[in-house]
Structure 1
């Protein structure tokens, strides 16, 4: 095993004929795009803020003399690059982008299952509190920072720094999918008694996908040329979203027997779907092992051991502006947390067919990709957080609209006009989400330091992901907590009302049916939780996010780098 090393200035050397000025234009993930030039440490001066100096007077001393002189003159190298002329993608960069899209695709498939389609399938059989337990399966993706330094620092030289992790992780993902395909039917037939086992299996699947993501993020920093580095987020957008929607939208549609009968297509079972992606994971892993060669990264005298990287993370987190960013990320998504966690489930509960919902999301998919490219142009330059800020208001507005849609949802079957309205609402809502993802991904790409590879990106993305993950458990628990349900039992001319702890899932309804009653929901906790989330979201946006974001994006890129001893 080998420890991670990098060039002192973090630059990946390219032949002269390939070194073209960067133009700060870039695309970030299914939601991304931004302008970023070769991301190298900037200057050897102290960060010019008294509060940061009090944190330890972190020095930046990783540049050559010319760059130091530019920094001393108050020039920011990457900001200068924003005004350079655009360059054409080389054939090598294009091949690298295809590879990255495929790797992100494999990562997106299990995420689409764990966070998308499986909860919808389970909704008919579980209460919201039980769904909250299953929602814990998404946590590893938000906590991968805890083990990213290990992925960044330990590898087999003979295989390659990134391939040492990507190949085994994909093999494990494929094996887990194979195991699930052989046992999932038994588990899904009686999910209320297998919630813990299902949660463990899908948590494991997400954990290994998250580990693969750390390695892929790090490889993207060296797989692409410095001038094309910003397109790494584009690959993430296309690959991750395609995998997610294949497992969520496409699978839900083809898994529906009604959809298969209506359109004359084969019925796709969860077992068959898992087996297909098991084979794909094995095939891509075999290709990487035999065909794809990984370039060796330049050596450095900088200590990149696991301990050193953890210390580096701590040094970054001690910076005052990083702390402000962390607080902003942890609470930024709370305003629309109820909408994202429970609205679709509530619509299905009110009679909206799963396959119709899948079709609505499928129609939305190309608009998300297009929106990512459009927002990328908006995000380039000196204000990458601008689209992220602007998209807050429409996103909060669509969250309110979604709550009203649930409240006034018509009795099925729904009309074509209402279905079209839902599709339009979904497209605009997801576009606002895509714009936000683009802006924040662009900002992260701009300030990340390749000297610690995937760890820096993971550090920034961890708090973004956690901001959308941690509220989900509380939202789903809150729906049941604030709900008041009764089991009404008719006995002759009188009516007996029995308070039920949960009267929504199949289990709760069955218990009421055994008593000869019918479940009646008097107060739906969904509306209370939605109102609380949106009120907090508006207040936090105005009082904290807007002034803090403008302050952070005004900082030079060098302010986000710290010295590696």
Structure 2
């Protein structure tokens, strides 16, 4: 393995070169295109002589590329180059691979397991999503170790995708047994998907780092668009499309064979293998810098980033930013399925929502350009909180099945609006991260910020699901004997069967979901008013130079 400094290359998301800086790299004023001036030479004049006519005019006016674009009319803006377009396609496909295991771990499996497990057992399985929020711990290793003959990023992306495909194929061979008796295999299932998510997170580190040196400056905000489109496409293929095709009633209605989870995982493995083979023919620019960059120096640089005051404030902001709709994200759809919403109906609602998510990703990319990249992130707070409240009330007033067409339309509208606001917020914060990140060691800066963004939505999930069971009051009513005895819960097969064996009926007298949802909404509103929005506006006003390590 080799350790070298990353080389700044023109990327396809932005039209400027990004020169990663390390403590050993000379300042840009002393180093131009790999050449260092001799003592006594006029650096300013020499720099100007190396610029083309357009760059010289921008330098004389003291304008950056982004500022210069603001003075151009729409007709004068440079069209996206073919290199940028190819890079956008490459990034989208690489993010797509990540979406397959994430869609299963965070989407489909909780719904398939809900009928057999309690919310506390589902909380155990939810821990499988944590590695995606903790990838910062090993990102410096990914950033430092690589084979020069393969490429800094491909050295990790290729093996990760091969292992992901192989593991999904192996799991598919025993998938039906796992799903038929999930309570007996809950820890094996959790371990298997924890491993899959860990591999996907490692691949994501390399892809994020590649995006910083693959795209150009004016198009860099579209990196978040690639992530939104790619991840959502893979996620919804494993969540929405799979749930619909896996439903027995859906297959009978449309006269198509039911898609088994083992078959689908084999399909995902085949796609992962195919993309990996295609990636072998994609050329990655090789690093030419001879300076040594050890893993220790990368961790040191990461620690220096963490010591920046603005970074600390931003990470703390991310850690609590999603508390308001934590219950909605973790339990609302599970509750709707519990009350009679068919999995195929849920799948149709999310399928209708899918093109709106793609539109939201594009809107966020466009909206985040300029001097207020956090504007969409700030504005989306209130719709997300309001829609979380609406979702809770929808669960409370959920009718007995079959649901009417009018109520289904309400569910679809609610789903579309909620996901649209969430995607706009995600795209806005991703664009802000791209704007302020100093690529000191490739993707480490971006990974640091993305880690706390993901962690803000991940860590509450376990406590929400545990809280639903903790605040729920259930009883087993034995009518023949006129007895009422406490029951642990009335959700899982085990809970219902324990009451049935006593000759009674399991009844939920108080649903802890509403208590947990109310707590999250109150905390969310208070934090948004008194902390989130004021802090975000202050951070947005901080000059980009203040976010740099050097």
> TM-score with structure 2 length normalisation?
0.90
Q: Deviations over 1:124-175 (max 9, x none)?
A: 1000000000000100100000000000000011111111100100010001
Name the structure 2 match of 1:293.
283
Cα pair distance change 1:140/1:466, threshold 3 Å: same
Aligned equivalents of 1:187 and 1:488: distance in 2? Answer: 32
Contact 2:387 2:414 survives alignment (8 Å): yes
Cα pair distance change 1:227/1:79, threshold 3 Å: closer
Give the number of aligned pairs. 523
Name the structure 2 match of 1:196.
187
Q: Report the secondary structure of 2:482's partner residue.
A: strand
Aligned equivalents of 1:154 and 1:406: distance in 2? Answer: 49
Name the structure 1 match of 2:486.
499
Q: Report the secondary structure of 2:282's partner residue.
A: coil
Aligned: 1:443 with 2:432 = yes
Contact 2:119 2:469 survives alignment (8 Å): yes
Aligned equivalents of 2:424 and 2:326: distance in 1? Answer: 17
Aligned equivalents of 2:93 and 2:196: distance in 1? Answer: 18
Contact 2:321 2:456 survives alignment (8 Å): yes
Cα pair distance change 1:516/1:322, threshold 3 Å: same
Consecutive unaligned residues in structure 1, runs of 5 or more: 19-25, 27-34, 45-57
Aligned equivalents of 2:186 and 2:404: distance in 1? Answer: 36
Q: How far does residue 226 in structure 1 lie from its aligned partner after superposition?
A: 4.0
Aligned equivalents of 2:190 and 2:297: distance in 1? Answer: 34
Contact 1:384 1:439 survives alignment (8 Å): yes
Match of 1:418 among 407, 419, 422: 407
Aligned: 1:559 with 2:546 = yes
Aligned: 1:213 with 2:204 = yes
Aligned equivalents of 2:240 and 2:10: distance in 1? Answer: 42
Contact 2:133 2:455 survives alignment (8 Å): yes
Match of 2:28 among 57, 63, 66: 63
Name the structure 2 match of 1:515.
502
1:12-91 mapped onto 2 (5 Å cutoff):
12=9, 38-39=17-18, 62-64=27-29, 77=64, 80-81=67-68, 83=70, 85=72, 86-91=77-82
1:282-361 mapped onto 2 (5 Å cutoff):
282-289=273-280, 291-299=281-289, 301=291, 304-361=293-350
Cα pair distance change 1:294/1:79, threshold 3 Å: closer
Q: How far does residue 90 in structure 1 lie from its aligned partner after superposition?
A: 1.7
State the superposition RMSD in angstroms: 2.5
Name the structure 1 match of 2:417.
428
Aligned: 1:376 with 2:341 = no
Cα pair distance change 1:59/1:401, threshold 3 Å: farther
> TM-score with structure 1 length normalisation?
0.88
Cα pair distance change 1:247/1:66, threshold 3 Å: farther
Cα pair distance change 1:562/1:524, threshold 3 Å: same
Q: Deviations over 1:243-298 (max 9, x none)?
A: 00000000000000111111222311101101111111112212222x22211134
Higher RCO (CA < 8 A, seq sep 6+): 1
1:240-319 mapped onto 2 (5 Å cutoff):
240-289=231-280, 291-299=281-289, 301=291, 304-319=293-308
Q: How far does residue 84 in structure 1 lie from its aligned partner after superposition?
A: 5.7
Name the structure 1 match of 2:379.
390
Cα pair distance change 1:415/1:366, threshold 3 Å: same
Contact 1:487 1:517 survives alignment (8 Å): yes
Q: How far does residue 36 in structure 1 lie from its aligned partner after superposition?
A: 8.9
Aligned equivalents of 1:420 and 1:410: distance in 2? Answer: 14
Name the structure 1 match of 2:115.
124
Aligned equivalents of 1:266 and 1:383: distance in 2? Answer: 50
Name the structure 1 match of 2:40.
none
Cα pair distance change 1:226/1:379, threshold 3 Å: closer
Contact 2:229 2:358 survives alignment (8 Å): yes
1:469-508 mapped onto 2 (5 Å cutoff):
469-491=458-480, 494-508=481-495
Q: How far does residue 376 in structure 1 lie from its aligned partner after superposition?
A: 2.3
Aligned: 1:142 with 2:129 = no
Q: Report the secondary structure of 1:474's partner residue.
A: helix
Q: How far does residue 238 in structure 1 lie from its aligned partner after superposition?
A: 1.2
Q: Report the secondary structure of 1:452's partner residue.
A: coil
